[in-house]
Each structure stands twice: as structure tokens, then as C-alpha cells.
Amino acid sequence: MNIILNRKVETGMIKENNKAIQDDYPDDFAWCYGCGRLNDEGIHVKTYWEDDLTISYIQPDKKYTALPGFVYGGFLASFIDCHGTGSASLALHRKNGHKPGDGVEPPRFVTASLHVDYLMPTPQGVQLKAIGQVEEIHPKKFKVMIQVFASDLHVANAEVVAVVMPKSFLKS
Amino acid sequence: MNIILNRKVETGMIKENNKAIQDDYPDDFAWCYGCGRLNDEGIHVKTYWEDDLTISYIQPDKKYTALPGFVYGGFLASFIDCHGTGSASLALHRKNGHKPGDGVEPPRFVTASLHVDYLMPTPQGVQLKAIGQVEEIHPKKFKVMIQVFASDLHVANAEVVAVVMPKSFLKS
């Protein structure tokens, strides 16, 4: 997988006044195990703009073990999945002239496909960072190229294709 | 993704005398959130032979929600991940002349890459089934082509490339 990021993103925390797209999802979209603020048992991925790239940070709970000392690959896939849909939502929201926190409900996306290349074992006990670059491939379909770091270790490359949520996902 | 399964596998339960590969993993490999019998908080994927195909079943807990009523895509990715490594382990174990339950420790695999195509929303409240077909692409590298069903609904296609666990994964 060929992922080209425009520039190096420094390890660090989100700027204080930056808002996550997931905080603006409507309530019916806020129960996701990966990124729903209303799912008390979930992992609460939050995704932000950092200039033209998208960023999520997470500190995996120790239960998400592969082998003792290493993070479970399915946890990384989940982190990547919600970083991908969050990044797509950020991108379409920006295209529509909006940004998180401006009071306008962002578009909701679901994952069409997820690809992860695991580059090395991911150590536990350090913060993970996902960096995304979003490309529109159709007005309702976005591709997000992602790199994941564990502290300074580049542990995974990934690609998520996200589509605007079809009506079949809503019960009423 | 082009997945060809040799034959239709009926929905159902594992035959009573069939043993899961994960039950034979050594203790240091039994802490995985996805398939470790020693991880009390994990999801306990178990993978079996059914003739020349591999099968896993799972009943997702309700917390693994995408939107209310639908299973979280990251949960499906986790189920697929461990079904993939379990299937690869079954295949190499069989190639070496062994089967689960015969008292010989099976080979351990880790995921090199994971690809999931989500075909439709996955309803909650029904058992999921993963069916795998394993192909050896190198003596230490196996590709597993996977179909996932929720009851009779074909909800995902996937491919896992699994490699024999490198020594760097073991702490001692």
C-alpha cells in the first residue's frame, strides 16, 4: 500500500480549541463501540483536523492484548475504522463549509472497506496516533490513507473507504 | 475481492467432538483479546475444521454496536482477524500431520494484513459465522479467504494474510 503524507506530523496532543467530529455526531450515531460518546463501554476514538490531515489519538486499555506486551490487531483495526469514517466526515463537512463545533450536524459515514498492513508488533503502554489523508473518489465516497504510530514507531499502514450512510442503516 | 468457496456450508453448530485450534495454543499465546482462552474480557473466537474449510461462530455482545441494531465493523474485523490466524494455524498443523486435541502444540501465527469488504449492515442479536479457505503462499505465510454470515445474510468478504509468529513477538 502506497501512502503519501504531505508532511511529518509531530507526536503530541490535540490543540486545546480543536473539536472532534464525533462530538458533533447526532445521538443516533453516538453509540458506536469505536467512537460513540454515548457507548460507555466503547473506546471513544476522536478525530480532529490538523491543517489538511486528520488525527486521532488513543491509549489502548491493557485488555486489548495480542500477546503480553503487545496491542491486539483487532483493536488497531477498530481504531483505524473509526479514524477513517471520522476523517471522511470531517472532509465532507469542510467541503460543505463547516467545521466541528460550529453547530451544524456533520455527515455520517459507514465503512465500505478496510485494509490494514501490520508493519511490526505494537507495544502496549504507549499512546497510538492515526494520521489520515482524505481523497474524494465520488461525492458520497471518500478514501482515507492512514498511518498509525505507537509513540515514534510506525506500526501500521491502512486504507479505509467510507461512504455516506445509506438509509438502510436507520431503523426509522 | 474474489472469494471462491468449494461448497456451501450449512448454518449450524460445531460437531460435538470437534476441537478448536485456540484451545491448543500455548499459554503465552492465550491472552489475545480476540481468541485467547485466558483473556476474561475478550471475545473468545474459536476456529474449527469442517472438512477442508475453517469455521468460527460468535454471538456478539450488544456493546459492540455500530448504530443501534447493527454490529460494529471493528468487531467484525476482530472476528475475521482471529478467524484468519486460527485458520492458518489449523492449515499448517494439518500439513505437519496434526489436528487440534492430539496433544501437539500448533504453530502460532500473526496477522500481516487484513482486508474487509462490508457488504451490508450486520444485524445484532444473531450468531455470526466465518468460513475460511486457506491457501499456502509460502511455507511460513498463508492467505485465508473469508466469508462472514449473520444467520443467512452474507455481510462481509475478507482476506487475511497470516505469517508464522516472528521471534520479536516473544518477550523472553
Query: For residue A167, what pLDDT is reported?
Result: 76
State the residue for C-alpha cell 483473556: B39
> A67, B170: Cβ pair inside 8 Å?
yes
The number of residues in chain B equals 172
* Domains with residue ranges and CATH for chain B: 21-166 (3.10.129.10)
With CA atoms as reference, the chain B residue closest to A39 would be B63
Average pLDDT over residues B64-88: 97
Count CA atoms closer than 13 A to B31's CA, side-chain side: 14
Distance from CA of A72 to the nearest CA of B (A): 7
> B31, A70: Cβ pair inside 8 Å?
no
Model confidence at B75, pLDDT cuts 50, 70, 90, reads very high
CB contacts of B73 in chain A (<8 Å) are: 34, 81, 110-111, 114
Distance from CA of B149 to the nearest CA of A (A): 16
Check: CB of residue B142 under 8 Å from CB of residue B109: yes
> B34, A72: Cβ pair inside 8 Å?
yes
Check: CB of residue A14 under 8 Å from CB of residue A55: yes
Model confidence at B15, pLDDT cuts 50, 70, 90, reads low
Report the candidate in B115, B109, B169, B167 with the shortest Cα–Cα distance to residue B140.
Answer: B109
Model confidence at B13, pLDDT cuts 50, 70, 90, reads low
Residue A116: which of B33, B113, B170 has the nearest Cβ?
B113
**ipTM of the modeled complex:** 0.92
Identify the segments of chain A with pLDDT beneath 70. 1-17, 168-172
Distance from CA of B168 to the nearest CA of A (A): 8
pTM comes to 0.92
CB contacts of B113 in chain A (<8 Å) are: 115-118
With CA atoms as reference, the chain B residue closest to A79 would be B74
CB contacts of B125 in chain A (<8 Å) are: none
Check: CB of residue A97 under 8 Å from CB of residue A25: no
Residue A34: which of B31, B74, B111 has the nearest Cβ?
B74
Distance CA(B59)–CA(A166), nearest Å, equals 25
Quote the percentage of chain B above a pLDDT of 90: 83
pLDDT in tens, B108-160: 999 999 999 999 999 999 999 999 999 999 999 999 999 999 999 999 999 99
Cell matching residue A61: 486499555
Distance CA(B171)–CA(A137), nearest Å, equals 43
Task: Report whether pLDDT(B18) > 90.
Answer: no
Task: Report whether pLDDT(B104) > 60.
Answer: yes
